Chain A
Amino acid sequence: MTTPSDRRYTREHEWVLLENGGRALAGITHHAQDQLGDIVYLDLPKPGTPLKQSQKLGEVESVKAVSDIYSPVSGEVVEVNAEVVAHPEVVNQDPYGRGWLLRVAISDRAELEGLLSADEYDHLVAKQGH
């Protein structure tokens, strides 16, 4: 699967996509869902929860393991994707589209500059030898 070039990535395999009005969507990458295997449960923060970049925001549970999800940006949760909470398999099926996790009101747009581009992220994954 091609890594979309319209968004930024973390070293911990999350993505963030800027929308209009200082908001952004956040999710986990194709590589992350592939490594996790079938996702069965997502523990995500409620709307209104403050987020800090690189801090744990929730957990994703697959048939293999429970892993932490880290916030790619600082800000506040505006909306949780109800579809993935009810049907976690959507994250496996469409990690960059319907499988988004949170809509966030970003507090510091400059943080995005510190994140990886699609090319840099692909390079990181290749280097990790997967």
Chain B
Amino acid sequence: MEKVWQEPGDSRRHLLMERSVAGRVGCSLPGLDVPEQPMPSAGLLREELRLPEVTEPEVVRYFTLLSQLNFSVDTHFYPLGSCTMKYNPKVGEAVASLPGFAQLHPRQPDATTQGALELMHRLQTSLADITGMTGVSLAPMAGAHGELAGTLMVRAYHHSRGEAHRKKVLVPDSAHGTNPASAAMGGFHVVAIPSDRQGNMDLEALRKEATADLAGMMFTLPNTLGLFDPNVAEICDIVHQAGGMVYCDGANMNALLGRVKLGELGFDVAHLNLHKTFSTPHGGGGPGAGPVCAGPTLSPFLPSPVVLKEGSRHKLGRPPKSIGKLGGFHGNFGVLVRALAYISLLGGQGMREISLNAVINANYLLSRLKDVYHLPYDRRCMHEVVLCARNQRAVGVKGLDVAKRLLDYGFHAPTMYFPLIVEEALMVEPTETESRETLDAFIQALREIDREARENPDLVRGAPHSTPISRLDEATAARHPDLRWRAQEQ
């Protein structure tokens, strides 16, 4: 990465507060043109308001330099596993910024928002088609929010049948970490199902837990090892026969688009991460959208609102046994606009090409790296590959060090130490939007780092060397967090 923060005579980056010079101002106020009034009593005012005293160009320069420190999909390859950091076409931004969408108010009467409601209805229909489900609610505002909606729907379903004793939810140990958390938030007791040696769910362990208190299962597909469990239909059958519902965490849908219909596999409810799979710039906390899609059994329980179409009119409605609202209004509307734009732009064939290229790219990395980085489950992967730095650890270089060294080569680090069932895990998700040349450069960098680990391990252990700040002391930062600027006492 280029060193962008270079200012004359300035060896460290000063915060705006530290650039303050007493009496300096950044704007000129017009002269007083009204009669002067006495100030309110001193008790109402603070003695002094600590604001940085800087000029306008200093402010502009400060924030411009700060913005140049951004590391993003728009500047670099960002293979952060499980996060689907693909390129988001700018047309999505253009469409979402149209005043007719951007300036709507959620309290406007339905009659004045027919276009927006139609957009939501078309998106519901498209997502139902993509997942093979019957009903969709766009209300959840993030992936885990969609998971919570799903667990509450499963609970409401069992309660409606007088089976409130069903309290157990099974979660494979290769699931997203939010799955057990969402089940617990839904009031369930979580039991982990181990993976077998191939990285699939252990069916024997599953059968033992398929008991009369089973409420359901939360299943990440492909799982966090980047693997498609070939027993998925049988797993759904086992859970159904015990009276449970099967939830699909669809956050990894990039691997399945246009290939697999979740409803046909046997899933009863699923969420999609629109911000990941359907193109909204994400990371750093949002905004997101996690629509929840349900089959015929659970559709009556979907959260409200859903958009209904009556003749040529659209209106907001509530499914008959709805779990109710999840937020104030209609979800994160701007993300919904981008998602429909993306789906419309690509069409059915485009959807199929996303999953095709996402899977090919991950397998290309797998096959070009597995002789150097240990591959714990040696089989074809889906949209992401989980490697491990076991060979490097043997010479004293950890997965963390490999990840930090990648920054020097101009790549974002992969997800590290996840999934937890793989030691020294490096979880790489290249996505479909990267070229062969980028992938080759990344492969070259990882192979080079392996060589460095053997020949000059301190170089790797001390990385990164070329970023604006070098290796952070994460342990001290976590043990003694220092989270805000404080005035130096003179």
Binding site for B on A (CB under 8 A): 35, 37-41, 61, 63-65, 87-89, 130
Contact = CB atoms under 8 A, between A and B. Distances in A.
A88 B479 contact: yes
Contact of B475 (A35, A65, A89): A89
Interface of B is mostly: mixed
24 contacts: A35-B423, A37-B400, A38-B474, A38-B475, A38-B478, A39-B475, A40-B475, A40-B478, A40-B479, A41-B478, A41-B479, A63-B474, A63-B475, A63-B478, A64-B400, A64-B416, A64-B417, A65-B417, A65-B418, A65-B420, A88-B479, A89-B475, A89-B479, A130-B423
Residue among A61, A63, A87, A89 with max Cβ neighbours from chain B (10 Å): A63
A6 to B, nearest CB: 29
Contacts of B474: 38, 63
A37 B400 CA distance: 10
Interface in B285-312: none
A5 B478 CA distance: 34
Nearest to A67: B420
A40 B204 CA distance: 37
Contacts, number: 27
Given A37-B398, A38-B474, A40-B475, 12 more contacts: A37-B400, A38-B478, A40-B478, A40-B479, A41-B478, A41-B479, A61-B478, A63-B475, A65-B417, A65-B420, A89-B475, A89-B479
A87 to B, nearest CB: 8
Nearest to B418: A65
Contacts of B417: 64-65
Residue from the set B416, B420, B475 with the largest chain A CB neighbour count within 10 Å: B475
Contacts of A37: 398, 400
A88 B479 CA distance: 8
A61 B417 CA distance: 13
Contacts of B423: 35, 130
Contacts of A61: 478
Interface in B213-249: none
A64 B416 CA distance: 8
Contacts of A130: 423
A38 B473 CA distance: 10
Interface in B414-447: 416-418, 420, 423
Contacts of B418: 65
A61 B474 CA distance: 12
Contacts of A39: 475
Contacts of B416: 64
Contacts of A89: 475, 479
Nearest to B425: A64
Contacts of A38: 474-475, 478
B420 to A, nearest CB: 6
Contacts of B400: 37, 64
Nearest to A41: B478
Q: Which of A35, A37, A61 has its CB near the most chain B CB atoms (within 10 A)?
A: A37
Interface in B58-77: none
A97 B126 CA distance: 61
